[in-house]
A = this chain, B = another copy of it.
């Protein structure tokens, strides 16, 4: 079984860490949008669990892990509570939050791809679903907060590409029979480091051909 790459307890601990840091990012956006305490909790839950929920619905793993594992459900509430009381401090350590979020991205793209493959999806579909697991929560967060998803915006540092690289590494390892804890860990770290570099050097993806020049200022002003 691929999902025994890591021992169950290690896997579970990694999941909880990823859920926690994604929940922090959801709760912080809720504070910035001036939502009340329930809005903070809802956005924390949705950001942390939305990607995995989508994956589980697609592969038919119902009820999804988010509703069967109490730790998955309570961790975002803990994150929401921390942000509720400490948000000026959390915002000040935004760099740390970003680093953790990058770690969550790396973890989720790998575990999402592995779980999708375990449920019988093809290699390409598994990688796509691993990517969706990693970025889905953030998209739902932005949709609920009535913002244009930062995943789609050109003026944000690369976010999807690191997750795509991690997911692609995993399906290549599966394809060539070299999947194990070491190669999986390497994929997690590759996605994580790529995301850190993208933030550090403000790597961005190109916009549509010929639009990048003249339309840029006009477009961003209109948005």
Given the known inter-chain contacts A84-B208, A125-B63, please indicate yes or no for A215 contacting B153, CB distance below 8 A: no
Interface size, A (range): 35 or more
* Chief secondary structure at chain A's binding surface: helix
In the complex formed, the residue of B with least CB distance to A45 is: B128
Copies of this chain held together in the complex: 3
* Distance in angstroms between the alpha carbons of A26 and B142 in the assembled complex: 19
Query: Given A59-B62, A64-B58 in contact, is the A35-B152 Cβ separation under 8 Å?
Result: yes
The answer to whether the Cβ of A202 comes within 8 Å of any Cβ in the partner chain is no
Assuming the contacts A68-B125, A144-B149, A149-B144, asked whether A208 and B139 have C-beta atoms less than 8 A apart, the reply is no
A64-105 Cβ-contact flags toward B at 8 Å (1 or 0): 100110100110000000011111100000000000000000
Residue of B nearest to A146 (CB): B148
Cα distance, A65 to B138, chains bound together (Å): 25
Contact of B152 with A216 in the complex, beta carbons under 8 Å: no
> A40 to chain B: which residues have CB within 8 Å?
208
The answer on a CB contact under 8 Å between A152 and B207 is: no
A42 within 8 A of B: yes
Contact A152 B161 (CB under 8 A): no
The answer to whether B210 touches A88 (Cβ under 8 A) is yes
Question: CB distance A67 to B34 under 8 Å?
Answer: no
A30–B128 contact, CB under 8 A? no
A57 within 8 A of B: yes
Please give, as numbers and ranges, the residues of chain B lying within 8 Å of A182 by CB-CB distance: none
CB-defined contacts of A161 to chain B, threshold 8 Å: 38
Query: In the complex, which residues 88-144 of chain A have their Cβ closer than 8 Å to any Cβ of chain B?
Result: 88, 119-122, 124-125, 128-129, 139, 143-144
**A152–B36 touching, CB < 8 Å:** yes
CB <8 Å contact, A152 and B39 = yes
Taking CB atoms, residues of chain B closer than 8 Å to A84 are 208-209
CB-defined A-B contacts under 8 Å, sample of 29: A33-B152, A33-B223, A34-B154, A34-B207, A34-B211, A34-B216, A34-B219, A34-B220, A35-B152, A35-B207, A36-B205, A38-B152, A38-B205, A39-B153, A40-B208, A42-B160, A57-B58, A57-B62, A59-B63, A60-B62, A63-B120, A70-B122, A73-B128, A84-B208, A85-B209, A143-B143, A145-B148, A145-B152, A146-B146
